[in-house]
């Protein structure tokens, strides 16, 4: 009987485990990653909308002030910004997810451990630049720069911002944006 020359022939006991690994890598891993991505996307969408964000007792004054603001859809255009449009950065998916988890943990801590009654909400307004992101503002107001030739006063006020000559953010000057008369609502609830 003639022998055939085999350059490479794995033993039969190795083929089955290799097929299992191959199927796991090619089929199961992408499937699990897709399910995880979809679940994460679903969770983020349902925990960054206005209804969810304003459901906590600690957010009552902010919710009331928001409902009175043009950003809640009270403008002639009817455009509504959600909480995450302003309070989560839009520079990159990584910065968005990182800030999302920081905000989620921080807000849960205030609501369930620290207590909203103890939190100095007025003092936190002084630090608004750290939790309101200009990238969120520019998501809706992206064409602001194009409007400036017609509005020279508005251009003069925003020139250093767009030329990146200042460290100011949108909320440095627009203190109550998104939450009309927030100070009054904070006083009412304290």
Whether 134 shows a pLDDT value over 60: the answer reads: yes
Query: What pLDDT was estimated at residue 3?
Result: 65
- Residue 28 falls within a domain, yes or no? no
Chain segment 4-38, per-residue pLDDT in tens: 666 666 667 777 788 888 888 888 889 999 999 99
- Residue 27 falls within a domain, yes or no? no
Output the six-digit token pair for 73.
């859809």
- Residue 52 falls within a domain, yes or no? no
Query: What pLDDT was estimated at residue 31?
Result: 92
Query: What pLDDT was estimated at residue 33?
Result: 93
What is the mean pLDDT of the segment spanning 78-107?
90
Report which of residues 95 and 120 the model is more confident about. 95
What is the mean pLDDT of the segment spanning 167-187?
89
Q: Which of 15-19, 104-108, 168-172 has the lowest mean pLDDT?
A: 15-19
For residue 80, the cross-strand partners are 72
Question: What's the domain range around 178?
Answer: 83-190
pLDDT above 90 coverage of the chain, percent: 22
- Residue 14 falls within a domain, yes or no? no
What is the mean pLDDT of the segment spanning 38-67?
89
- Residue 180 falls within a domain, yes or no? yes
Q: Which of 20-24, 97-101, 158-162, 186-190 has the lowest mean pLDDT?
A: 186-190
Confidence band, pLDDT 50/70/90 cuts, at residue 77: confident
Query: What pLDDT was estimated at residue 118?
Result: 81
- Residue 173 falls within a domain, yes or no? yes
- Residue 36 falls within a domain, yes or no? no
Residue 139 has a CB neighbour count (10 Å cut-off) of 13
- Residue 170 falls within a domain, yes or no? yes
Q: How far is CA 130 from the centre of its chain?
A: 13
Overall domain count for the chain: 1
Q: Which of 144-153, 155-164, 173-182 has the lowest mean pLDDT?
A: 144-153
CB 134 within 8 A of CB 170: yes
What is the mean pLDDT of the segment spanning 150-169?
82
pTM score: 0.74
Could you give the residue ranges of the DSSP H alpha helices within 26-120? 29-46, 50-53, 60-67, 83-87, 93-109
CB 18 within 8 A of CB 10: yes
């Amino acid at each position: 009987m003639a022998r055939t020359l085999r350059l490479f022939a794995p033993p039969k006991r190795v083929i089955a485990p290799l097929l299992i690994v191959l199927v796991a890598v090619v089929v199961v891993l992408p499937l699990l990653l897709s399910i995880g991505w979809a679940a994460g996307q679903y969770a983020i969408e349902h925990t960054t909308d206005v209804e969810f964000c304003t459901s906590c007792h600690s957010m009552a004054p902010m919710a009331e002030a928001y409902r009175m603001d043009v950003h809640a859809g009270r403008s002639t255009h009817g455009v509504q910004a959600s909480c995450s449009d302003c309070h989560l950065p839009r520079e990159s998916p990584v910065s968005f997810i990182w800030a999302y988890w920081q905000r989620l943990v921080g807000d849960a801590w205030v609501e369930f451990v620290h207590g909203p009654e103890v939190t100095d909400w007025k003092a936190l307004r002084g630090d608004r630049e750290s939790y309101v992101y200009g990238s969120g503002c520019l998501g809706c107001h992206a064409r602001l720069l194009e409007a400036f030739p017609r509005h020279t006063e508005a251009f003069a006020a925003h020139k250093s911002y767009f030329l990146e000559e200042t460290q100011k953010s949108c909320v440095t000057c627009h203190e109550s944006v998104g939450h009309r008369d927030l100070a009054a609502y904070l006083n009412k609830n304290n």
